[in-house]
Amino acid sequence: MKQTNSAYEKVLQNIKLAAQMPPEDAIPLLVKCAKQGFPLVASKAVQALVEQNHPSVVQTLIDLYTWAEEDPSTRDKACDIRIAIVEALGDNRSQYGVETLRKAIRTVHIARLGPGPEDVAIPLRAAAAIALAKADSNALYELSLLLFDMQPHPKAPTAPVNVPFVKAPTRKAAAMGIGILGDLGGLPLLAVKLKHTEGEVPDVLAECLESLIAMQPEYVMEVTLPYLRGTDEYLSAITALALAENYGIKVMSLLLETLEQVQGEAKEAIVTAISIIRSSETREVLQGLSDDPSPYVRKAAKQGLENFGGNLDEKN
Which long-range contacts link 218-224 to residues 24+ away (Cβ below 8 Å)?
Answer: 219/191, 221/254, 223/191, 223/194, 223/195, 224/194
Count of other CB atoms within 10 angstroms of residue 249: 17
Separation of alpha carbons 275 and 182, rounded Å: 27
306 conformational bin, left if phi > 0, alpha if psi -120 to 50, beta if neither: alpha
- pLDDT (tens digit per residue) in 283-309: 999 999 999 999 999 999 999 998 875
pLDDT of residue 4: 64
pLDDT of residue 112: 87
Separation of alpha carbons 239 and 243, rounded Å: 6
Q: Is 41 helix (H, G, I), strand (E, B) or coil?
A: helix
Beta strands in 9-80, from DSSP E residues, in sequence order: none
Dump the DSSP string for 163-226.
HHHHTHHHHHHHHHHHHHHT-GGGHHHHHHHHH--TT--HHHHHHHHHHHHHH--TTHHHHHHH
Q: For residues 199 and 228, is the Cβ–Cβ distance under 8 A?
A: no
CA distances from 274 to 51, 163, 210, 242, 279 (A): 41, 36, 16, 11, 10
Q: Is 120 helix (H, G, I), strand (E, B) or coil?
A: coil
- What does residue 242 show for φ and ψ, rounded to 5 degrees? -65, -40
pLDDT of residue 243: 98
pLDDT of residue 311: 41
Dump the DSSP string for 51-65.
HT--TTHHHHHHHHH
What pTM was computed for the model?
0.91
Residues 6+ apart with CB under 8 A from 79: 72, 107, 109, 120, 121, 123, 124
Separation of alpha carbons 216 and 169, rounded Å: 24
Q: For residues 234 and 210, is the Cβ–Cβ distance under 8 A?
A: no
Q: Which of 97, 96, 180, 88 is nearest to 137 (CA)?
A: 180
Could you say which residues of the chain have pLDDT below 70?
A: 1-4, 309-316
- pLDDT (tens digit per residue) in 112-156: 888 889 999 999 999 999 999 999 999 999 999 999 999 988 888
